[in-house]
Homo-oligomer: A and B are copies of this chain.
Amino acid sequence: MIFYYPKVMPALTELFDHMSRFVPVSAEDKQVLTDLVEVRSVRKKEHLLSPGEICHANYFVKKGCLRMYFIKDNGLEHTLQFALENWWITDFMSLENRKPTNMYLQAVEPAEVVVLTKTNMDILSGQVPQMERYLRLIAERAFAASLFRMQYFFELSVESRYEQFNRRFPEFVQRIPQYMLAGFLGFTPEVLSKIRSKKRAGARKKLG
């Protein structure tokens, strides 16, 4: 005997739960959505998108962690966004204008994602107004977060940027490699290493 999950009922509970935090979601809405998305697993370090390609979908992270990054001339990576559980991630610039991206979209950890293609989103747009609203609110949040991050860059030194981030997202700092965090916060891995060693020295002194 073979067990399988029929296409009409993949595990979208995380997505529905998340939506419910922002908008009411009816049973019919769920059905329409279910028919228009696909769940997919991504291996660690696997790329969902690479420079030169056109981004066709928006991804909702059910489990694991994705990131969007690019590579500078000097070889250093800079992560523009991370997406942990319950975050959406995509390159809107490429998605909306159907232009080639210059970004990588990669799984930092083994991940499960809900894939919503642009085509299907356009269909949903007419059929499920609450989805539209949900995505508007999500986009506005993401924008606000991005400006907030910008503010951090303007007003904080490299060291306090790390401290703030570490304070706000301690679990996060545990989950990702240091060189990714360094790139995300806008500096080199060496600097992060030195900051951490300084902190450790300070901590030892206190214990002394």
Which residues of A approach B to under 8 Å, CB–CB? 70, 72-73, 78, 80-81, 91-93, 96, 125, 129, 132-133, 135-137, 139-144, 146-151, 153-155, 183, 186
Contacts and interface: CB of A to CB of B under 8 A. Distances in A.
A18 to B, nearest CB: 16
Contact of A148 (B93, B143, B153, B155): B93
A183 B150 CA distance: 12
B150 A149 contact: yes
Given A96-B140, A139-B143, A146-B146, 20 more contacts: A70-B151, A72-B154, A73-B155, A78-B151, A78-B155, A80-B150, A80-B151, A92-B140, A92-B141, A92-B143, A92-B144, A93-B148, A129-B132, A139-B139, A139-B140, A146-B147, A149-B150, A150-B150, A153-B186, A154-B183
Nearest to A23: B125
A204 B33 CA distance: 63
A151 B184 CA distance: 10
Contacts of A151: 70, 78, 80
A161 B125 CA distance: 37
Contact of A93 (B78, B144, B183): B144
